[in-house]
Structure 1
Amino acid sequence: MRGLLLLICCVFVMFPNVAPASQGGHRDAQPQRIYGTAPPITHLLYVLGADGLIAVNAPLRNPSNNADDRFLREWFRHLPVLGGWHGNRHPNLEEILRQKPDLIVSWDTPLLQDKVDGDLGRIGYKALAVNIDDTANYPQVFRQLSAVIGRAKRGEALAVWAEQQIDDLQRFVATIPPDERVRVYYAEGRDGLQTECAGSFHAEPLRYAGGINVHQGRQTTVTGLQSINMEQLLAYDPEVIVVQNPLCYRELFDDPLWQQLTAVRQGRVALVPKTPFNWLDRPPSFMRLIGGHWLAAQFYPQRYPYDVKAKARAFFELFFGVRVDEDDLSRMMFPAATRAIGKGGA
């Protein structure tokens, strides 16, 4: 603690203009050293072309994200892990000071932002906050952030593409009458008995894609992962189950209790793609722009009107500069294709 206090004192002497952005996010010069406070923000900065990123918040490759080398540039893959404010984690403030960022971008979400602002204020920094809890916010955020980091042309290209995908999906979902929308359970954790309530930003893609989350309620923590029991899940009896954990996915079909569920009996269980980042959640990122279409194609395989693989091809080429073929898409989009519900239409 003494070391941190000493650094705080020194930083105001050595770097009097330490705040990375003004109230409105305007800057006199293009930032050279950029830090995102959480994985959704850091990943967003990366695809916008922020080559001044100084760190990532957690190892890029983890149980929720494949982080394939093919899709991520070498310099990004080799950035140091500095931590961040996400889940129950927080970074080493002393190390942030040592790194001397001239722009900090934070995730403006109600359950987290006050903590981030307070911690950064202690070391003399003010973050530029962007709200990405709603997928529909991404076009505006692409434009705002890209202007700040000097990548306006890149940001406009991503924003235009995102607007089209959001419009396509919203128009499709509007054609599904409320009483015909599928009831969905979002299964997380090794046993599938952790989930997210309908009001959680973790579960936003379910609503975005036209599903009805069977687990109602209001989000009370950033991490989420609300525990339920099998009795409650049997009472919900969802029509579709969306699964994050591949081991859970493989085993639930052979579990006598899970076999009682309509979704399992009918094979309407989808395993979430994770290449290069999770398509839906953990982190809840721009991947939802394609993940929402993938999900809608799973929910409504006979109704979904678009070529979701064509959309995915365009997404990977635009966002990651990688061309993917049919085999790539099949492996990514249906990682457990023998039982994935997408076989019927998308």
Structure 2
Amino acid sequence: MKFMGAMTLRWGQGRVAYCPIFQAGSPNMRVLKTERLCLRWFEPSDVDYVLEQISEAGWKRNISDPGVNDLAAARDWMEAKLFNWYWPQGLGLWAMERLSDGVVVGMCGLLQRDHLQAPDIGYALLPRYEGAGYAREAAQACRAYAHDVLGEPLLFGTTATFNEASGRVLQAIGMQRLSTGPLGDSTEDSHLYGVGEACRLSEDAQVRDLLARFFAVFDNRIGRHAPLAALPYFFLPEAVISRASLPGEAAGVQRMSVREFVEPRVQMLAPGGRLQEFSEWVSEQQVQVSGRVAQVWLRYRKSGILDGQAFEGGGEKTVQLVKPGRRWKIAAIAWQDRD
């Protein structure tokens, strides 16, 4: 077992309350796919793998001993340490599922630690699956996902000073060792690796970049995977999405949480879903930034195949954003389709 973190992981302490993510009928949230692996959100049915993973001697040596000895305790651990990241953060550790047989061989993902200015990559493998290149393949994909989908120009990785194998994986995906010393509230030394540099875009350009990435995740043309699992990363957890009624419908507004907005679109845009060959793009926009708040008015166009019928359409959106930390987040969206 290898993990790119030398200290005890601190999932959401003092920041995020428990969010009961999985309910009956929740869609499978696939994050990305590689040649051999699918990385997806963990589900309660993965409890057997999780219990085995966190009981491994390597996990206890490199991370911590969670004191989990049975399935019931493993379920509680999953709720607190895995599920709690997904909707509030849009990040977390994801199941590393082998495409050939559906076996979960490990976990890999992106975590935002309080003491780092950008996310870092973490991973773990069961010992019997080490040596097959899965860690490097998943870590490389997470690096690309962070940059290409989430828009993170800077990424970190940490290892225990004695964990040379994990250091080699980080270096293999382009990271360089930056420093060695205690990180966060740990008293033990860790190696800190990194790749990229902090964002240098203007505030206006950052807002425009975020909205471009927002629209891009809905694109499932030519067999693309629409990475809708990224959407919670773009929003405040308490964001409100509102859809005005269509022309000809009774006047009204449909209000949705981030989850209520995302879940049906995951089902619609999945392979075999109702909506295929879909894309949506901005045709006109006006951006106003004042300090840490911003407002965008835009027109959009869209096209696709819905229930087997090709269509085109468009409308208007208004987007309110805030910058609570280093990144802009969407606080509210309201839209109306015109055709």
Per the normalisation by structure 1, the TM-score is: 0.27
Bigger relative CO (Cα 8 Å, ≥ 6 apart): 1
The answer to which structure has the higher helix fraction is 1
